[in-house]
Structure 1
Amino acid sequence: MLRFLNSGESHGKGLVAIIEGLPSNINIDIDYINSELARRQKGYGRGGRMKIETDKVEILSGIRHGKTLGSPITILIKNKDWENWKDIMSIEKKDMDESSIVTRPRPGHVDLAGAIKYNHRDIRNVLERASARETATRVAIGSIAKEFLKEFDIEILSHVIQIGCYREKCKEIKFETLRLAEKSPVRVLDRELENKIISEIDRAKKQGDTLGGVFEIHVHNLPIGLGSHQNWDRKLDGKIAQILMAQQGIKGVEIGAGFETANMLGSKVHDEIYYENNYKRTSNNAGGVESGISNGEDMVVRAAMKPIPSLVKPLKSVNMETKEEFEAQKERSDVCAVPAASVVAEHLIAWVIAKEMLIKFGGDDIKEVKRNYNEYMKYVSSR
């Protein structure tokens, strides 16, 4: 069973993750992981924290001479900003500075519900763990999953299709074209749209406001047969939706034509099948998944991210101690993090796909997994 556990607070000493269940002898490139962490930190509209942190991964266990050992992998990403927060976030018992205690919850954040649920006077005990800073470990974890998927020529790319009111026109996109998103500060393919979005982010910043948007992820070279229709918790599309909805700020997920299918006739929705050396489709409205199982087409997933709830001009709130009306707590944050969120989502999906590959093909060593995979692909081509 492939699984991970991560821990750490936004302004704590660092972020830690442990991965268990990866086969041995997978090639792992530390520079590649760090380059993926750098991608997460980019994007027009990011805040001051990105000027402080330059995320680098430190592997504490599970990898030797560039290859996985089959034992648990431990990852550490240090927080440079810890030096500025070591008194406020002290692990040792100290008298609290009353002025540093957060009691005004931000609308749209976990502050109020979390403080009540866990019985915290200081909301910082909640918001530090809820912060999207935690996604740095998930990108590192997903980067290792991507290294595993490279063994099977499975690749995952993303791009932004909407920020604020500006959206790309719907069109079929060739997988290779998605690489152009890396050249855009807002990760869009349309350069005219890029300029409009940058101007919109600038306007929101001047107004002390924030922006959300929509991004799209494509998974290329998936085999037929990942996931299962047998039980609800084994469905591939359900697992994809769950892990994306667990990403900070995500409020909606759709696969393939998604919500648009509600406006279409069945004859226009379902992808007709033909055979040319193997089974193919004339369209991909299903987004590569039918009834919880990958069907051999590219997986196409979109997610909607809400505007960040930390505002320079805060909304009205209540002081939890006095119950008096106050402006919500101000916290350092981004104006728009949709481009970064698309990068995080790539790695979350990579994790799910890697897990499904091991469920399907198993093995303690990468060569064993590949043997099982190759035998299965021979069987598929014979059907």
Structure 2
Amino acid sequence: MRYLSSGESHGPQLTAIIEGVPAGLTLTAEMINQDLRIRQQGYGRGDRMKIESDQVQITSGVRHGVTLGSPITLVIKNKDNKNWGHVMAIEPIDEHDYEIKKVPRPGHADLVGAMKYGHRDLRNVLERSSARETAIRVAVGAVAKQILKALDIEVISHVLQIGKVSVTNYPTTISTIQAAIANSPVRCVDSDLSIQMCQHIDEAKQQGDSVGGIVQVLAENVPAGLGSYVQFDRKLDAKIAAAFMGVQSVKGVYFGDAMMASSHFGSEVHDQISYDQGFTRMSNHYGGFEGGMTNGMPVVVQAMIKPIPTLYQPLNSIHIDTKEVEESMIERSDSCVVPAAGVVLESVLAFELAKEILEEFQSNQMSSLIKAVKCHREAMRDF
């Protein structure tokens, strides 16, 4: 299974084409739209979310609510494009008719992207590098979630930290986490800390600043044996880490209790093996992985999210033509994207797991895939 996405932040639309989804999967636009709505929520989002109400259109690969096995095309229209039609025009226009962006933002792709591709207008970079692209990735991930759901695998995210406010005690099961974050505007399991996180975001916004944090993403009921130890590029945790790092603003990824494990004795962190109707572990410090393979425990991944580079009290930068010091440009942006980033990373994890499952159990039909995974689970249990 693979996909490509295309589109710019203020262009007409975002598009993805997914290839390799088995035939026979129940799929509707509303299943995808549920995740798109959650992505748009979260305390600290900017005015763009007041303009967009993301709705996906499925334009191929599905008939009567069921996948056909052919490529699936997903489209999300950018409502804000009506205000940017001239600036983002496909056909040539007079460069004096619009503002050319010349002062890059520290921490953004603006400058290096322009240097790499030879652009003298930074908008040519910022439009595609914008996190607006994650909307279509959430749509793709929602398709992957439907595959996982058919295999009784669930995925969820929650916020561990925003700025200096962090959660130290939190549940470890998806059902408990889901209930705990239901009424939190920052998707945090602790209601008191949720309030503090919101206050911290408000402080950053009032100062024209931004704030980052840490999210945790979990998957339950993942079969043991996905991935492989035989080659470095077949290790599933390595693939997931790379995919997470491909999400805008993610600057670090670790599995399970890796931050703790790095400073403790091995006797304190290795997950001891036990047996109860199949092999299991007495703890899950390694986040469901051993030797690059899933071990049957929940997959647990943390991602560190940097603060958004656009600041309403901008930092100094350099004009790419005059080479003079100027304040970096301002684009409409969020104060905090940590809760939304968690939703995006749910989609990323769901896609990587579904992709690995389809590589392990090559199936053209969902019914065949379900049978193959069931047989595999039984073989793992009976080993």
2:78 aligned partner = 79
Q: 2:225 touches 2:293 (CA, 8 Å); kept in 1?
A: yes
Runs of 4+ in 1 over 4 A off after TM superposition: none
Aligned length: 382
Q: What does residue range 183-332 of structure 1 map to in structure 2 within 5 Å?
A: 183-332=183-332
State the distance in 2 between where 1:181 and 1:251 align: 24
1:127 aligned partner = 126
Structure 1 residues 288 and 65 mapped into 2: Cα distance closer, same or farther (>3 Å)?
Answer: same
2:368 aligned partner = 368
- The Cα of 1:29 is off from its aligned counterpart by 2.8
Q: Deviations over 1:262-304 (max 9, x none)?
A: 1110001101111111112111001001110000000000000
Q: What does residue range 15-54 of structure 1 map to in structure 2 within 5 Å?
A: 15-54=14-53
Residue 216 of structure 1 aligns with an amino acid whose one-letter code is Q
- The Cα of 1:175 is off from its aligned counterpart by 2.5
Q: 2:209 touches 2:335 (CA, 8 Å); kept in 1?
A: yes
Q: What does residue range 99-110 of structure 1 map to in structure 2 within 5 Å?
A: 100-110=99-109
Classify the secondary structure of the residue corresponding to 2:95: coil
Q: Deviations over 1:110-147 (max 9, x none)?
A: 11100010000100000000000000110000000000
- The Cα of 1:172 is off from its aligned counterpart by 5.0
State the distance in 2 between where 1:100 and 1:5 align: 30
Gaps of 5+ in 1: none
Gaps of 5+ in 2: none
Q: Deviations over 1:4-41 (max 9, x none)?
A: 00000000000000000111000113212101001000
Residue 31 of structure 1 aligns with an amino acid whose one-letter code is E
Residue 197 of structure 2 aligns with an amino acid whose one-letter code is I
- The Cα of 1:331 is off from its aligned counterpart by 0.4
State the distance in 2 between where 1:318 and 1:379 align: 61
State the distance in 2 between where 1:214 and 1:104 align: 30
1:4 aligns with 2:3: yes
Q: Deviations over 1:314-373 (max 9, x none)?
A: 000011011111000000000001000000000000000000111111111111111211
State the distance in 2 between where 1:234 and 1:332 align: 40
- The Cα of 1:259 is off from its aligned counterpart by 2.1
Q: 1:11 touches 1:89 (CA, 8 Å); kept in 2?
A: yes
State the distance in 2 between where 1:373 and 1:233 align: 23
State the distance in 1 between where 2:340 and 2:4 align: 22
Q: 2:87 touches 2:98 (CA, 8 Å); kept in 1?
A: no
Q: 1:154 touches 1:222 (CA, 8 Å); kept in 2?
A: yes
- The Cα of 1:173 is off from its aligned counterpart by 2.3
- The Cα of 1:169 is off from its aligned counterpart by 1.0
TM-score, length-scaled by structure 2: 0.98
1:95 aligned partner = 94
Residue 372 of structure 1 aligns with an amino acid whose one-letter code is A
Q: Deviations over 1:165-196 (max 9, x none)?
A: 00001455232111022321011010110111
Root-mean-square deviation (CA, aligned residues, Å) is 0.9
Structure 1 residues 164 and 50 mapped into 2: Cα distance closer, same or farther (>3 Å)?
Answer: same
Q: What does residue range 135-154 of structure 1 map to in structure 2 within 5 Å?
A: 135-154=134-153
Q: 1:158 touches 1:181 (CA, 8 Å); kept in 2?
A: no
Residue 43 of structure 2 aligns with an amino acid whose one-letter code is Y
